[in-house]
Structure 1
Amino acid sequence: MRTNLTLQQLEAFEKVASTGSFRAAAQALFVSQPALSRTVRMTEEVLATRLFDRDTRHVELTPAGHELLPIARRILMEFDGAFSELSQFLDGRKGHVTIAAIPSVGVAWLPRAIAALRKKIPDVSFTLAEAPAEPLLDLVERGDADFGITVEPPRDASLRYTHLFDDPFVLLCRRDDPLARLKAAPWSVFAKHPFIASSSQGSIRPIIDAALLRRGVNVAPAFQYPSVAVGGAMVSEGLGITAMPTLALHLIALDRLTMVPLQRPSLHRRIGIVTRAGRSLSPACSAMIQHLVQLPKRSRPPLSRHEQQ
């Protein structure tokens, strides 16, 4: 037989049992004593048994009341615990967030950002995914990632972009290259030295090509690298020079390399958060995005030792 008792009825019963007094229980629950008595009476009617033996001075549990009390307390405790978890979820203090990031952001910035976030939202767990710029957008659009951190994508009605910070480009060359002594280098330098270009599938190549085109610099790449790490290794072996954003330098072995600021024009790639338009984010996800947007205002991505030289 299924018995339908409300949480209000269980709470009223438990409070009377705990205090041993209808008056004290009514005061604790902020209800009138007659209202509390009616609630207990309705509970007894539903169960078809007395829960309390009472007279003008004493309230005692009946055998049925003794049986119900641990059950009522367990149900109330489980409800309070579950409701507390829901409250933490709705407040953005609990939940799980899946983040996709391009490799340079995933190595140079995101772990540091998450470490700072853990101090604010310690009960939010994370899954991190790494992908190049275009596949990353697919992860976000399919819902496989709650949001992505990547270069600013072309305008798309299905995506929303929130800017985080700018990632400046530098000239990357060997330390024994005469170019390493320059305080700054123009983009025309790539027309006079073997240029190692990034893959056309990555996020770096379109930005560099556009910069060279604006300056009217005609460059025929001597080599093309498939990944940032390979590009750095090629420069390290003296095969040429290249241009890279500073975050990408964290993916390279820089022992034999140095970087020179690029000017005329100075160039950067915009890094930000990409979400799918029209998709509701969890409170934890929204809270994390809010914290991430505020982080760059206090600290830019960390510079490597070689960048500071």
Structure 2
Amino acid sequence: MIRLLQFISDNGDYSDVCINRASMPPVFPDLSSRQLQAVLALAKYRSFVAAASSLKISQPALTRTIKLIEIELGVPLFSRSTRRVTVTDAGQEFAALAERLLNDLRIGAENVREMAAHPRGQITVASVVSLAGAVLPSLIADYSRRFPGIELHLREGLHHMVMDEIRNGMADFGIGYVDDAPRSFVTEGLGVETFHLVMCRDHALARRTRIGLPALAGVPLVSFPAESRTRHIVDRAATAAGLSFHYVTTTNRLPTLHELVRNGVGLAVVPKSERPSPDDPDLTSLPLVGQGLSCRVGIMRLGERELTAAAAQFLNVVRNWWRASRHDSDRKNPRYSSGSVVNNSG
């Protein structure tokens, strides 16, 4: 079937065009927001001159745009006499549709920009206790102030618990000891953790400047559980040196460990970032030195799991803090200075 349509020519006159219904335009016309604006402008001003002026384009350009739109739709939207342009019934219907589409597009774009500026979502981070207590609270506080729409969950525990949280998908990523991470993990080294011996200020060993492993032989010790990474590293170093230590109590909580030392139950070996504050009235700590008494700290995540935008953003916060931390002085942050975790990025 042949259908006769009139279209505006470049000089503003209408010409008759025959369209075969078998070659009618597709269900979803290929129209831009600029073309929709052209329809609205011409429907509003009923003048090619005024409409073109409002769009800041030439009249011939507007004429061509309208002609292309009508060809794409397969119907005339406007008719023109010698005096004025009138809107056809189809044109009125399409102009209303164009206005709705443009409004929806504008609102949608604003919402997307708002989401980018103020993202929403949830992040779960697993961390070994030493870093969870020493580093992450200040980072989380800063991140939450910048992105209040992100709900951040911190799951802290011993090293093997952190790896389990990552492996089973509970955590987006983890921060811990990366030396023995499984092959399914993607790791990123951040630094090297060293260890301190915690004791009461009046203990005989407190007069030294550093402590070697042999000094702990026969001394009652309190520690994290045997499966903890700290305990594993200390025991392995002791075995390599031909030593064995006497553990009297274990706990999986750092505050409890400090209180056990404070009450004279024993001494404790902890990562440097878990040592007591320099202004603690009762406790002090000294570096524990010996072969094998260090471990690499870093970021771990499942290789097959892509990070969400929010998780990737917080991961960058962690990275940036670590890079900056090597420039912090003990005076500025005495507990968590660059000496606590030595950056190995060069």
* TM-score of the aligned structures, taking structure 2 as reference length: 0.70
Unaligned runs of 5+ in 2: 1-25, 340-346
Unaligned runs of 5+ in 1: none
Which whole-Å CA distance do the structure 2 matches of 1:285 and 1:226 have between them?
27
Which whole-Å CA distance do the structure 1 matches of 2:178 and 2:188 have between them?
9
1:12 and 2:35 are equivalent in the alignment: yes
Compared with structure 1, are the counterparts of its residues 167 and 199 closer, same or farther at alpha carbon in structure 2 (3 Å cutoff)? same
Q: Is the 8 A contact 1:169 1:243 kept in 2?
A: yes
* Residue aligning to 2:103: 74
SS in 2 for 1:144: coil
1:280 and 2:306 are equivalent in the alignment: yes
SS in 2 for 1:131: strand
Once the two structures are TM-superposed, the CA of residue 168 in structure 1 deviates from its matched residue by 1.9
Identical pairs, percent? 20
1:127 and 2:149 are equivalent in the alignment: no
Q: RCO (CA 8 Å, sep 6+): is it higher in 1 or 2? A: 1
Once the two structures are TM-superposed, the CA of residue 18 in structure 1 deviates from its matched residue by 3.8
Give the AA of the match of 1:38: K
Which whole-Å CA distance do the structure 1 matches of 2:126 and 2:237 have between them?
27
Compared with structure 1, are the counterparts of its residues 177 and 161 closer, same or farther at alpha carbon in structure 2 (3 Å cutoff)? same
* Residue aligning to 1:176: 202
Residue of structure 2 aligned with 1:100, choices 86, 105, 126: 126
Q: Any idea what the Cα deviations from partners look like across 1:168-217, whole Å, max 9, x if unmatched? A: 21110011212222211111121142122321132221011122123322
Query: Higher Cα Rg: structure 1 or 2?
Result: 2
Compared with structure 1, are the counterparts of its residues 67 and 179 closer, same or farther at alpha carbon in structure 2 (3 Å cutoff)? same
SS in 2 for 1:221: strand
Residue of structure 2 aligned with 1:37, choices 60, 66, 86: 66
Give the AA of the match of 1:76: L
Compared with structure 1, are the counterparts of its residues 299 and 33 closer, same or farther at alpha carbon in structure 2 (3 Å cutoff)? same
Give runs of aligned pairs for residues 259-298 of structure 1, distance below 5 A. Answer: 259-265=285-291, 267-298=293-324
* TM-score of the aligned structures, taking structure 1 as reference length: 0.77
Give the AA of the match of 2:102: R
* Residue aligning to 2:19: none
* Residue aligning to 1:218: 244
Instruction: Please state which structure has a larger fraction of its residues in helix.
Output: 1
1:304 and 2:335 are equivalent in the alignment: yes
Once the two structures are TM-superposed, the CA of residue 42 in structure 1 deviates from its matched residue by 4.3
Compared with structure 1, are the counterparts of its residues 95 and 250 closer, same or farther at alpha carbon in structure 2 (3 Å cutoff)? farther
SS in 1 for 2:152: strand
Give the AA of the match of 1:152: V
Compared with structure 1, are the counterparts of its residues 23 and 192 closer, same or farther at alpha carbon in structure 2 (3 Å cutoff)? same
Q: Any idea what the Cα deviations from partners look like across 1:146-182, whole Å, max 9, x if unmatched? A: 1111122514121122112222211100112122222
Give the AA of the match of 1:131: E
Give the AA of the match of 1:298: A
Which whole-Å CA distance do the structure 2 matches of 1:247 and 1:37 have between them?
70
Once the two structures are TM-superposed, the CA of residue 238 in structure 1 deviates from its matched residue by 0.8
Compared with structure 1, are the counterparts of its residues 15 and 280 closer, same or farther at alpha carbon in structure 2 (3 Å cutoff)? same
* Residue aligning to 1:228: 254
Q: Any idea what the Cα deviations from partners look like across 1:76-105, whole Å, max 9, x if unmatched? A: 21443466478x49xx97754322222322
Which whole-Å CA distance do the structure 1 matches of 2:82 and 2:150 have between them?
55
Q: Is the 8 A contact 2:123 2:152 kept in 1?
A: yes
SS in 1 for 2:275: helix
Q: Any idea what the Cα deviations from partners look like across 1:218-247, whole Å, max 9, x if unmatched? A: 212233334322221111001111111122
Q: Any idea what the Cα deviations from partners look like across 1:87-129, whole Å, max 9, x if unmatched? A: x49xx9775432222232222111323455568x747724223
Compared with structure 1, are the counterparts of its residues 226 and 293 closer, same or farther at alpha carbon in structure 2 (3 Å cutoff)? closer
Give the AA of the match of 1:13: L
Which whole-Å CA distance do the structure 2 matches of 1:85 and 1:8 have between them?
26
Which whole-Å CA distance do the structure 1 matches of 2:140 and 2:81 have between them?
62
Q: Indicate the larger mover: 264-273 or 160-169.
A: 264-273
Q: Is the 8 A contact 2:225 2:231 kept in 1?
A: yes
Q: Any idea what the Cα deviations from partners look like across 1:23-78, whole Å, max 9, x if unmatched? A: 4577669x954551234314764xx6x65455577556665466435413322214
Q: Is the 8 A contact 1:107 1:250 kept in 2?
A: no
Give the AA of the match of 1:12: Q
